[in-house]
Amino acid sequence: MAATSLTLASATEKKDPKAIIRSIRDDIIELENLISDLLIKLQPMAAKYEGYWLQKTWVLNKLKKKYYYYYLKSKTRDPRSVYVGSLPEDYHSLRTVKHYIRFLEKTKNMLDETLVTLLNLEQHLDFIIMVVNAGKVLGSSPTRSLPNTKKK
Protein backbone atom coordinates (compact mmCIF):
# COMPACT_ATOMS: atom_id res chain seq x y z
CA MET A 1 0.00 0.00 0.00
CA ALA A 2 2.93 2.37 0.56
CA ALA A 3 3.89 2.06 -3.09
CA THR A 4 0.32 2.87 -4.09
CA SER A 5 0.26 6.11 -2.14
CA LEU A 6 3.70 7.05 -3.50
CA THR A 7 2.60 6.64 -7.11
CA LEU A 8 -0.55 8.67 -6.47
CA ALA A 9 1.41 11.37 -4.64
CA SER A 10 3.97 11.70 -7.42
CA ALA A 11 1.18 11.95 -10.02
CA THR A 12 -0.63 14.55 -7.90
CA GLU A 13 2.51 16.66 -7.59
CA LYS A 14 2.71 16.85 -11.38
CA LYS A 15 -0.98 17.83 -11.56
CA ASP A 16 -1.29 15.78 -14.72
CA PRO A 17 -4.82 14.32 -14.79
CA LYS A 18 -3.85 11.54 -17.19
CA ALA A 19 -0.99 10.49 -14.90
CA ILE A 20 -3.34 10.46 -11.91
CA ILE A 21 -5.88 8.33 -13.81
CA ARG A 22 -3.13 5.99 -15.01
CA SER A 23 -1.83 5.63 -11.44
CA ILE A 24 -5.28 4.85 -10.05
CA ARG A 25 -5.93 2.41 -12.90
CA ASP A 26 -2.67 0.56 -12.18
CA ASP A 27 -3.52 0.38 -8.48
CA ILE A 28 -6.98 -1.03 -9.24
CA ILE A 29 -5.50 -3.65 -11.57
CA GLU A 30 -3.00 -4.65 -8.87
CA LEU A 31 -5.82 -4.94 -6.33
CA GLU A 32 -7.92 -7.02 -8.73
CA ASN A 33 -5.00 -9.40 -9.24
CA LEU A 34 -4.60 -9.77 -5.49
CA ILE A 35 -8.32 -10.52 -5.07
CA SER A 36 -8.18 -13.06 -7.90
CA ASP A 37 -5.29 -14.86 -6.22
CA LEU A 38 -7.23 -14.95 -2.94
CA LEU A 39 -10.31 -16.33 -4.67
CA ILE A 40 -8.28 -19.07 -6.35
CA LYS A 41 -6.98 -20.16 -2.95
CA LEU A 42 -10.26 -19.86 -1.02
CA GLN A 43 -12.75 -21.44 -3.44
CA PRO A 44 -11.51 -25.05 -3.09
CA MET A 45 -11.67 -24.71 0.70
CA ALA A 46 -15.27 -23.50 0.62
CA ALA A 47 -16.32 -26.26 -1.79
CA LYS A 48 -15.72 -28.98 0.81
CA TYR A 49 -19.08 -28.43 2.55
CA GLU A 50 -20.88 -26.75 -0.36
CA GLY A 51 -24.46 -28.01 -0.60
CA TYR A 52 -24.41 -29.70 2.82
CA TRP A 53 -25.84 -28.67 6.16
CA LEU A 54 -24.96 -30.10 9.53
CA GLN A 55 -27.57 -32.18 11.34
CA LYS A 56 -27.15 -33.06 15.00
CA THR A 57 -28.86 -36.32 16.01
CA TRP A 58 -29.15 -37.88 19.45
CA VAL A 59 -29.28 -41.49 20.56
CA LEU A 60 -29.81 -43.18 23.94
CA ASN A 61 -27.12 -45.63 24.96
CA LYS A 62 -27.68 -48.71 27.14
CA LEU A 63 -27.45 -46.59 30.28
CA LYS A 64 -30.25 -44.35 28.95
CA LYS A 65 -27.86 -41.46 28.55
CA LYS A 66 -28.19 -39.17 25.53
CA TYR A 67 -25.23 -38.66 23.27
CA TYR A 68 -25.00 -36.76 20.00
CA TYR A 69 -23.44 -37.38 16.63
CA TYR A 70 -23.42 -35.39 13.41
CA TYR A 71 -24.37 -35.98 9.80
CA LEU A 72 -23.82 -33.82 6.75
CA LYS A 73 -27.11 -33.75 4.85
CA SER A 74 -27.82 -32.62 1.31
CA LYS A 75 -30.71 -32.49 -1.10
CA THR A 76 -28.53 -31.97 -4.16
CA ARG A 77 -25.22 -33.80 -3.61
CA ASP A 78 -24.34 -37.46 -3.51
CA PRO A 79 -24.10 -39.04 -1.02
CA ARG A 80 -27.11 -37.38 0.54
CA SER A 81 -26.02 -38.19 4.06
CA VAL A 82 -22.45 -38.39 5.37
CA TYR A 83 -21.70 -39.55 8.88
CA VAL A 84 -19.07 -37.33 10.51
CA GLY A 85 -19.38 -38.45 14.15
CA SER A 86 -18.32 -35.51 16.27
CA LEU A 87 -18.60 -31.90 15.13
CA PRO A 88 -15.98 -31.24 12.41
CA GLU A 89 -13.55 -28.62 13.68
CA ASP A 90 -13.28 -26.82 10.36
CA TYR A 91 -17.01 -26.83 9.52
CA HIS A 92 -17.95 -23.37 10.82
CA SER A 93 -14.76 -21.68 9.64
CA LEU A 94 -15.09 -23.11 6.12
CA ARG A 95 -18.74 -22.12 5.98
CA THR A 96 -17.80 -18.53 6.83
CA VAL A 97 -15.16 -18.58 4.09
CA LYS A 98 -18.07 -18.74 1.65
CA HIS A 99 -19.30 -15.35 2.88
CA TYR A 100 -15.84 -13.86 2.41
CA ILE A 101 -15.71 -15.27 -1.10
CA ARG A 102 -19.01 -13.55 -1.94
CA PHE A 103 -17.69 -10.29 -0.50
CA LEU A 104 -14.47 -10.57 -2.53
CA GLU A 105 -16.42 -11.33 -5.71
CA LYS A 106 -18.64 -8.28 -5.17
CA THR A 107 -15.58 -6.14 -4.50
CA LYS A 108 -13.92 -7.42 -7.67
CA ASN A 109 -17.05 -6.59 -9.69
CA MET A 110 -17.10 -3.07 -8.21
CA LEU A 111 -13.42 -2.66 -9.13
CA ASP A 112 -14.21 -3.80 -12.68
CA GLU A 113 -16.93 -1.16 -12.93
CA THR A 114 -14.57 1.48 -11.53
CA LEU A 115 -11.94 0.49 -14.06
CA VAL A 116 -14.42 0.88 -16.92
CA THR A 117 -15.41 4.29 -15.55
CA LEU A 118 -11.75 5.32 -15.40
CA LEU A 119 -11.20 4.22 -18.99
CA ASN A 120 -14.24 6.26 -20.09
CA LEU A 121 -12.95 9.21 -18.09
CA GLU A 122 -9.59 8.92 -19.82
CA GLN A 123 -11.28 8.94 -23.24
CA HIS A 124 -13.37 11.99 -22.33
CA LEU A 125 -10.27 13.72 -21.00
CA ASP A 126 -8.48 13.06 -24.30
CA PHE A 127 -11.42 14.61 -26.16
CA ILE A 128 -11.47 17.67 -23.89
CA ILE A 129 -7.72 18.15 -24.32
CA MET A 130 -8.14 17.84 -28.10
CA VAL A 131 -10.90 20.49 -28.11
CA VAL A 132 -8.89 22.87 -25.93
CA ASN A 133 -5.79 22.42 -28.09
CA ALA A 134 -7.84 22.98 -31.25
CA GLY A 135 -9.12 26.24 -29.74
CA LYS A 136 -5.57 27.35 -29.01
CA VAL A 137 -4.49 26.60 -32.57
CA LEU A 138 -7.45 28.47 -34.08
CA GLY A 139 -6.98 31.34 -31.66
CA SER A 140 -10.47 31.21 -30.24
CA SER A 141 -11.90 29.92 -27.02
CA PRO A 142 -14.19 26.90 -27.33
CA THR A 143 -16.76 28.69 -25.17
CA ARG A 144 -17.13 31.54 -27.65
CA SER A 145 -18.36 29.24 -30.37
CA LEU A 146 -21.19 27.88 -28.22
CA PRO A 147 -24.63 29.26 -29.08
CA ASN A 148 -26.47 31.43 -26.61
CA THR A 149 -28.88 29.10 -24.81
CA LYS A 150 -30.55 31.67 -22.56
CA LYS A 151 -34.30 31.96 -23.08
CA LYS A 152 -35.82 35.41 -23.25
pLDDT at residue 132, rounded to an integer: 85
pLDDT > 80? residue 150 = no
- Give the pLDDT mean for 14-39: 91
The residue ranges of every structural domain in the chain are 51-88, 90-130
- Give the pLDDT mean for 114-142: 83
pLDDT at residue 136, rounded to an integer: 76
- Give the pLDDT mean for 50-78: 88
Average pLDDT over the chain, rounded to an integer: 83
pLDDT at residue 17, rounded to an integer: 85
Percent of the chain scored above 70 by pLDDT? 82
Report d(CA 101, CA 105) in Å as an integer: 6
86: Cβ contacts below 8 Å, ≥ 6 apart? 69, 70
pLDDT at residue 62, rounded to an integer: 87
Q: Read off the DSSP letter of residue 72.
A: E
User: Positive or negative, the Cα torsion across 133, 138, 144, 147?
Assistant: negative
pLDDT > 70? residue 80 = yes
**What is the three-class DSSP state of 68?**
strand
* 66-73 and 53-60 strand pairing: antiparallel
Report d(CA 13, CA 128) in Å as an integer: 21
Residue 23 near residue 8 (C-beta atoms within 8 A): yes
Residue type, 23: S
Residue type, 118: L
